[in-house]
Amino acid sequence: MTATPARRVLLAAPRGYCAGVDRAVIAVEKALEQYGAPIYVRHEIVHNKYVVKTLEKKGAIFVEETEEVPEGEIVIFSAHGVAPVVHEEAERGKLATIDATCPLVTKVHKEAVRYANEDYDILLIGHEGHEEVVGTSGEAPEHITLVDGPDDVKNVEVRDPDKVVWLSQTTLSVDETMETVDAIKGRYPNLLSPPSDDICYATQNRQTAIKQVAADADLVLVVGSKNSSNSVRLVETALTHGADAGHLIDSADEIDEAWLEGVGTIGLSSGASVPEVLVDGVLEWLAQRGWEDVEIVKPVDEHMQFSLPKELRRDLRAEAAKATDRTEAAQATDPAHA
């Protein structure tokens, strides 16, 4: 008779919301409070179905293109960033914009503009069609070539092999990106690297944590939506770092009981766009089936925070100042304060 393996959950930390997602979601919530519904949002503010549905219930309207927003309304740009042409479209449509692009994506946009101005050929490592890649490419379309993984390097053509720089999408697998960079260097030994990592701290930290968890896990579950790049990368990273099996799930409802057969240790993490309530749901589901023992695996601390988009901060400050003026005026005319 085979002994039942001890049941435990290794819970990766950090997991879930990163500073960029947190800022983007709060920006939509604050905009709804400040200006009232509806508030238009171009594309999913972050790649998570639950977050999008929750904001829709509060009055956000998600659109694919800026042209769908009625003239004069407010539109928020998502955390993934937009190309300059989208800002121009908004201006033509007389829209008020709030740019919730993550500052770490903006950093990559600025790098693209700088290297394009210096006339480099820019090899942007990323996934074809991903919103972030579309936005970054739009900063300098004549200078940027997308490289979608190591196998794509053979297709690259540049004008001057000695004037090539690589940049990357912020949410890639660190290991695979370095493989792609090595393959590019094989063709262009004088390849220039960006001054700092484009793969953001949150993506890197979540991958570091899942690697540690995966080494001891029979099964890894990652909470995240299928269109969330960093969530998909977490499952891939788990599978290449020791997990026997790995699945991406939007919530506990998607867990298949058959996955648990013969499983002792379950690793659990969530992508950077996933609210903690969904992870709590998975923990509860597992606890009901005997996985009550939860151990936190935390190889890195994370404390990053970003301030709200500047347009919103300006209006919130003005509103707060008006409220103070009203209170002072009321006190001045109130005999009780005389």
List binding-site positions for dimethylallyl diphosphate: 47, 80, 130, 228-230, 273
Q: From the list 18, 32, 39, 147, which residue makes contact with ligand SF4 (rule: CB under 6 A)?
A: 18
What is the spatial distance between Cα 248 and Cα 259, in angstroms, rounded to a whole number? 12
Q: Which is nearer to ligand SF4, 66 or 170 (CB)?
A: 170
**Interface mask toward ligand SF4 for 48-87; x: CB under 6 A:** -------------------------------x--------
Per CB under 6 A, does 203 bind ligand SF4?
A: yes
- Least distance in Å: CB of 60 to ligand SF4? 18
Is residue 85 a contact partner of residue 123, using CB atoms and an 8 Å limit? no
Answer yes or no whether residue 219 interacts with ligand SF4 by CB under 6 A: no
Residues identified as active-site: 132
Q: How far apart are CA 265 and CA 263, in angstroms?
A: 6
Token pair in block for residue 71: 């003239």
Q: Cα–Cα distances in Å, from 260 out to 263, 274, 288, 292, 293?
A: 5, 23, 13, 14, 15
94 alpha-carbon distance from chain centroid: 28
Instruction: With CB under 6 A as the rule, give the number of residues binding ligand SF4.
Output: 15
Stretch that binds ligand SF4, among 59-67, 97-105, 121-129, 233-241 (CB under 6 A): 97-105
From 15-23, 178-186, 250-258, 262-270, span contacting ligand SF4 (CB under 6 A): 15-23
Q: How far is the CB of 337 from ligand SF4 (least distance, A)?
A: 47
Q: Which run of H or E residues covers position 290?
A: none
Give the start-end residues of each E strand in the chain: 8-12, 39-42, 60-63, 74-77, 96-99, 121-125, 144-147, 164-168, 219-223, 245-249, 265-270, 294-297
Give how far the C-alpha of residue 134 lies from the chain's centroid of Cα atoms, to the nearest Å: 15
Residue 126 within binding range of ligand SF4, rule CB under 6 A? no
Please give the residue ranges that form the binding site for ligand SF4 (CB under 6 A).
Answer: 18-21, 79, 102, 104-105, 170-171, 200, 202-203, 230, 272
